[in-house]
Amino acid sequence: MIPVTKPFLPPQQIYQNYLSGIWNRQWLTNMGPLASQLEMEIKQHLQLKHILFVTNGTVALQMAIKALDLKGEIITTPFSFVATTSSIVWEGCIPVFVDIDAESLNIDATKIEAAITDNTTAILATHVYGNPCDVETIDRIAKKHGLKVIYDAAHAFGVEINGKSIFEYGDISTCSLHATKLYHSVEGGFVVTQNADLLKKLASIRNFGISGFDTFAELGLNGKNSELHAAMGLSNLKYIEDIIKKRQALTQRYDDKLTSLKAYRPKWHKGSENKGAYYPLVFDSEELMLRIMDRLKNNEIGTRRYFYPSLASALPYLAPKALEITDEVSKKVLCLPLYYDLSFEEVDMVCRLILRVQNN
């Protein structure tokens, strides 16, 4: 069986060594030494000034919206994981969907201004599959209209634009360290901001808004993460270069084998490198995509319709909204298996099956 994804696991001994330290200290959570060490090592690895390790990527988004004190409407993408939208609604704001660009599959920055109203307070965009949004245009529009910007960078660990970390963009960027992501701590996430006041506020929100022994500064939640999760994050970080290299090589293998396929890959940002977080294909037709998905399934090969259906039409708590490009792309997109343990022979087999379906 070939699943669509499989979590990376470090050699057990590496994790055990961290566990021994945890047993000695008997400090399990609440910003412990391993959580602090993980923050330091991620900061160093990504060349960032500040990060906060949190419970997961969804809480990271909720904390970002709360810390920026957003109200009213937030312009966002319908082509993402449900947490991008649900976080907006969870924080009492209204998501306003703007269609995606058919080539990059990210929010179409040229369509954002038309969606701005007197109630708009922010833009929340996802770097889908780790492919950077048009951050220059988004930042320019945000400045012009006095809007905040949050980037959901859940897919973008290690991604840079012209050598600068993707997490430096926007007022706040968030990441997920969930087990299905390229780099993970089982469950986990982090928030990034360049603004020292905002960082303080986020740190306070992460810890219930507690400001002193018996004082509270603001409304907070429990966004802390544990020493056991930090230990997994620290263990996996030792292998991150290998992980990315392998995923990029597998991506190249798919590209080479599937040149005759009636499908396209997202057009990548010019200043950025694909780290191989996912392997998405947008097929010429939904019919071809479904036939291929079915054949792979019959051969015990997993795929995922990431992202289908459009968030603008799928959520029972929102009025459905049709969006031309998103509706079209989400119907025809399919992600193929991609993970560290996948072999080149397995990729070849998947590609042979796919091409056989197309050419029959």
Ligand X SMILES: *Cc1c(COP(=O)(O)O)cnc(C)c1O
Span of 26-34, 113-121, 151-159, 284-292 interacting with ligand X by CB under 6 A: 151-159
CA 36 to CA 289: how far, in whole Å? 45
Going by their DSSP bridges, the two strands 279-283 and 333-336 should be labelled as antiparallel
- For the CB of residue 261, give the shortest distance to ligand X in the complex, in Å: 25
Based on the shown chain and the rule CB under 6 A, indicate whether residue 57 belongs to the binding site for ligand X. Answer: yes
- For the CB of residue 61, give the shortest distance to ligand X in the complex, in Å: 6
- For the CB of residue 93, give the shortest distance to ligand X in the complex, in Å: 16
Among 151, 149, 105, which residue's Cα sits nearest to residue 129? 105
Among 35, 50, 56, 261, binds ligand X (CB under 6 A): 56
Query: What are the angstrom distances between the C-alpha of 154 and each of 123, 175, 188, 264?
Result: 16, 4, 11, 23
Among 62, 77, 84, 225, binds ligand X (CB under 6 A): 84
Among 80, 106, 185, 326, binds ligand X (CB under 6 A): 80
CA 105 to CA 103: how far, in whole Å? 6
Span of 55-63, 142-150, 260-268, 349-357 interacting with ligand X by CB under 6 A: 55-63
Among 5, 58, 204, 330, binds ligand X (CB under 6 A): 58
| 78 preceded by a cis bond (ω within 30 of 0) | no
Helix (H, G, I), strand (E, B) or coil at 112: coil
- For the CB of residue 19, give the shortest distance to ligand X in the complex, in Å: 23
For residue 76, list its beta bridge partners: 97, 124
- The angle at the Cα of 215, spanning 210 to 221, to the nearest 5 degrees, equals 25
- For the CB of residue 177, give the shortest distance to ligand X in the complex, in Å: 7
Q: Using CB under 6 A, count the residues that bind ligand X.
A: 14
Q: What is the DSSP string of 40-60?
A: HHHHHHHT-S--EEES-HHHH
The pair of structure tokens assigned to 351 is: 């590609």
Number of H helices, E strands in the chain: 12, 14
Based on the shown chain and the rule CB under 6 A, indicate whether residue 226 belongs to the binding site for ligand X. Answer: no
Based on the shown chain and the rule CB under 6 A, indicate whether residue 178 belongs to the binding site for ligand X. Answer: yes
Among 78, 158, 170, 189, binds ligand X (CB under 6 A): 189
- For the CB of residue 52, give the shortest distance to ligand X in the complex, in Å: 14
Q: Which residues contribute to the site for ligand X (CB under 6 A)?
A: 56-58, 80-81, 83-84, 126, 152, 154-155, 176, 178, 189
